[in-house]
Structure 1
């Protein structure tokens, strides 16, 4: 009986660990939802239904993000090293809500660059506690990270929003500025928000970049390079595809196609 329980327990851990059955299911579900979101938004692009859909999604995300922040900071659950909404993903959730509600170019740009890299990295290499048991924190962790990724896909490939070098500069500058804020905050509190003071627990891309502070330097270079490559398809041919700052966040010509469309 004991050996049977041990085998069953081992199978559950393997299934629920990184790239185990549960993790792959969540990633697959995200991919399916991503296709559905892009398809659905393309069907209603340019209509009032699109505006209402995005705004409803934005207000829902904002409400869920506020609930998560408040719930995680209640006295009985508060953990100084984890509860404060200071991670990039915490900040990104609120910016994503703004992007969905207002569709301002700066918010869309941050959602695109941060959402498809920093947010995606958190989904690909989550801490094992986000996979090995179900809890309010686990459910909200995955729901909110998935929502941000779906918003990035929907806004760019569904609703037809664009980014350019101005958006790249703003998103990259904001990421560096937030890191500059977190470094002294972490030092003062003894925390590691944003993982800028030491590598995150568990396996991640940072493990390949050396010890602190060397990995911080390489992250600055790597992120800048990847984001520049993410910008190029939108501006190739010498034509800027970024909106002029208007509410809709689209190019003057609605006939321009989204890369990969």
Structure 2
């Protein structure tokens, strides 16, 4: 069975695109509700680890598929995009709740992945093509992981978390940029813009858009850090102002 609709190239802002964004939004809301009920319980630990296994097993299966001889291409098959590292740290954060892993999941998962979902660099047939399933499943699951950990289970970023994310992102960028130069690849779109329309189009030509992208990213990360640090400060002041009994 080879339905013609499955052979059509994915169209940004078509019916399937809006449907997937809707599913992502609804799923995020359900996970927040589930996480709040499970917060501080054994069931919360088990659910988070089951989530980690689901994400990890799916991503590993897709990576094995891309390394098979019929799919192998050094320019696209290696797990060097930042989204590839994002699912790795998301699995670690869900399983361990380590702050550094949560920090990277929070910043990468709530800024880079949504941007990729809104302006997807996806030149492939629609569902059920493996590239379509891989792209959307991994991106959505990582966004869900960041939302579940934060608004469901109660993990919180702080300014140290932002610094960790900035340093690791710079290290990734320098390493992958060098790899791209040697191999002619373009992982992370560090050496050229993607062919599809994206936010990079309004950030100037290469290489200036890299500096603009980083500055905008840091500003966005600061904006999504500040509310948590502000609320934490208010809680501390209230605790200090409460007389001991």
Deviates more, 1:54-63 or 1:158-167: 54-63
Q: Distance in 2 between matches of 1:29 and 1:235?
A: 30
Q: Residue 181 of structure 1 corresponds to which residue in structure 2?
A: 175
Displacement of 1:181 in angstroms is 0.5
Of 210, 227, 241 in structure 2, the residue corresponding to residue 216 of structure 1 is: 210
- Cα displacement (A) at 1:121: 1.1
Give the number of aligned pairs.
Answer: 233
Residue 118 of structure 1, aligned match among 105, 112, 118: 112
Matched, 1:104 2:108: no
Normalising by structure 2, report the TM-score: 0.89
Counterpart of 2:200 in structure 1 is 206
| Separation of aligned partners in 1, 2:124 and 2:37 | 35
Runs (5+) with no aligned partner, structure 1:
1-10, 242-251, 256-261
Is 2:30 aligned against 1:36?
yes
SS at match of 2:214: helix
Tell me by how many angstroms 1:237 deviates.
Answer: 6.0
C-alpha separation in 1, matches of 2:234 and 2:184: 44
What is the distance in 2 between the residues matched to 1:130 and 1:56? 30
- Show the counterpart of 1:67: 61
Secondary structure, in 3 states, of the residue corresponding to 1:81? coil
Deviation of the 1:137 alpha carbon: 2.2
Deviation at 1:240, TM superposition (A): 9.4
Q: Is the 8 A contact 1:15 1:22 kept in 2?
A: no
Structure-1-length-normalised TM-score: 0.84
Deviations 1:220-258 (A, max 9, x none): 1111111111110011167399xxxxxxxxxx9xx9xxx
1:23 matched to 2:17? The reply is: yes
* Contact in 2 for aligned 1:18/1:131 (Cα 8 Å): no
Does residue 46 (structure 1) correspond to residue 17 (structure 2)? The answer is no
User: Which of the numbers 67, 70, 89 marks the counterpart of 1:95?
Assistant: 89
Runs of 4+ more than 6 Å apart: 11-15
Which of 104, 128, 132 does residue 134 from structure 1 map onto? 128
Work out the CA distance in 2 between the residues paired with 1:12 and 1:145: 21
**Residue deviations 1:41-78 (CA, integer Å, cap 9, x gap):** 11111110000000111122111111111111111111
- Over 3 Å counting, the alpha-carbon distance change for 1:147 and 1:218 in structure 2 is same
Change (3 A) 1:227 1:67: same
CA displacement 1:133-190 (0-9 Å, x = unmatched): 5312211211111100000000000000111001000011111110010111000000
Check conservation: 1:22, 1:131, Cα contact below 8 A. Answer: no
For 1:90 and 1:234, the matched residues in 2 are separated by: 27
> Post-superposition shift, 1:127?
2.4
